[in-house]
Structure 1
Amino acid sequence: MNRDDETGFRPRPGRIRFNGGAGRPQLSFLSAVRRQARARSLTPAGKAGGASPAPRRPGRAAPIRQGVGRGRGASFVRARGVAGWKHPQRGFRRVTVKARVVRQAGKGGGAAAHLRYIQRDGTSRDGERGVMYGAETDRADGRAFLERGTDDRHQFRMIVSPEDAERMSDLTGFTRDLMTQMEADLGTHLDWVAVNHFNTAHPHVHVVINGRDDLGENLVINGQYIGQGIRERASELVTLELGPVTEIEQHRKLEAEIGQDRFTRLDRALLDQIKEGRIDILRPGVERAAGDGVDRSLRLSRLAKLERMGLARQTAPGIWELDGRLEDTLRALGEQGDITKQMHRALKARGNGPDHERDPASFRLHAEVPDTPVVGRLIDRHLSDELGEKLSLVVDGIDGRVHHVPGFDPAQVEDISNGAIVSIGAASVRERPSDRTIAAMAREGIYRPSEHLDRLQLDRWQVKGNPQELVQGYELPRVLWRRFLSDLSG
């Protein structure tokens, strides 16, 4: 071998990309960057990787639990876990975000039904049909979007509702900025469409995201990013546009919640103040300890409202007890109030006049399809859950009531137009020939398959088919059979 300094070399046998000294494979540049990023994001700013986390301060987020690294956006969640979420802090604009992951949304027409109904008539600012848009177009092609997501394992659906949306200049621009920021946090392009809704007291945006990333893999988003991160980014954008919430503005918003028949921030503040099942409203330092901006006068005013509703009582001067089901009761009342408003809007859309101004006492809210049929004119249909596909129908009944009936598949009412006369009731069970045969073979309310088989064997020349297979088809669960006989005897 040539030992000249210019041309000489010494072979070093080993595996490919093995540096021969560290005892383990050498990391690629990308892997090394990712490892360093993970190490830095798990520690406070200015600390070296592996250092113990800083002690938790009041108002900071709790330490991140094990398993949070699953899904895109985990690094953003870890960073906020150390620095603390901004959107709950005073001064930041509130944004409500509801999200849902829908499995196999492209199968069975569910995704198409959802897109169709978030674009329904009356949702735009001028009362016309809602307009669907995307990242680069003001009129997105819904059919092409659905085709791209046909084979996706799941689909993401969101409702983003800024508290001060009516003051924002461009809800579409806000949505595009939010989705761009989400793409940066998640490290992938998102295939999405959105529709703005102005048919409620609070304008909001419906966003639908297909379930694949830019590599064609299943899009997996960290759960805490969905629950907190999206709201964080949306709150930052709204606060940037409208400025921080002032103390006077915040107090005015809280005052407006005193008389509401729904679960409010005041109720949350009261529940957080409970100790040993009671609230001591006169205890000094309550506002400073809570840090929620709810002063004593607001708490007392809300407690007086809850007392009139039967959800709170004063047991001693300054000592209050709240009903154990306060939150559930208020949330149910809020849902009923939303449905009532929807019914009022449906009646108003039919025209003006005394025939369309109904007393809410005439409204009938059904939990499911009633046994007694509801007959009347179909005046509206809307999504029971704005993130789902099931429809609720509003029917102006011939009994003088306005009925709200939930739980319909869109295919059931696709061919029925608003204004049509409908009859809604539980599906009737018709008597079949096999039912009459079973009733004839029963003795004292008991059907015995063995006796039925013997009878068929005797009449074998009249029977078409195998007698044993016929009897197996007649066998019913005992409970269902007894119920069937009781219905026949009744």
Structure 2
Amino acid sequence: MTGIPPRTTDARPRGEPLPRDAVVRVIPRIAEVRDNDRNILDVSQANEGRYSIARHQRFDRSVSQAFAETHVRRLEAMRRARFDVTREADGSWRISSEHLEVAERFEQRDVASRPVAIEVLGSGSVERMSGMEAATWLDRELASPSGLVMRDAGFGREVRAGLDQRRQWLVEQDLADTSPSGVRLRQNALALLQRRELLRIAERLSGELGKEFSEAKAGDWIEGKVSRRIDGISGRFALIERSREFTLVPWRPVLEKQLGQQAGGIMREAGINWQFGRGRAGPEIS
């Protein structure tokens, strides 16, 4: 399957309920200036105190559109919080020479309101995950060179047992190989598991919608109505509907406000640069 990235961790937006039986990690948040903040300042200082995606790409020709857009989203968050960044009528941003100090204050306030981050590692019980035909948290732990350190008691013992069961299942499915050093996932195992789940979801939706499923591949132009979010085990998908067919593509938070609206974009390995509205003449949003 092309274009559906592996699901690693899933930071929950504020107010969004956790799935039932979710496996989560609670991580203390640290208030610190980000690399994006430093990049914004560097670009602006080379451009008379202005930042924009075009200026960023001229400043560093290796920068992709999607990467530059993460900087714009950072500035938007700071602007909404009424920190010292200003968006001009042409879409560029006026950046203070003290931008890093502004960014640090923004982070301190944000961390004070949310001192920890809750990341969903997987949904469903460990026992249930051990036999799922999808890319589960257990698979990502098995594929990780380090993995989590689990104590042999309580939930840790449950996870250890689940990992052992999952290893056996993966070998039976020809998705992992055994060796003297243990069980190792095959190179494309996660992608195959993700695609199996995608096709299973697509089959269900095809019967529900009465439409044919068109699988999205890198380089395809994706266009249609953003109908809803589909939550899978391997990740989240956006249901994009056309008159006679539909497709499933990686979900992005920016799509939340576009539900029911027309959108289009080119499918790439890292996702889609979306253009919204029927005219879709505006800027692309990753």
Fold shared per TM-score above 0.5: no
Q: TM-score, normalised by structure 1?
A: 0.25
Structure of higher RCO (CA pairs closer than 8 Å, 6+ residues apart): 2
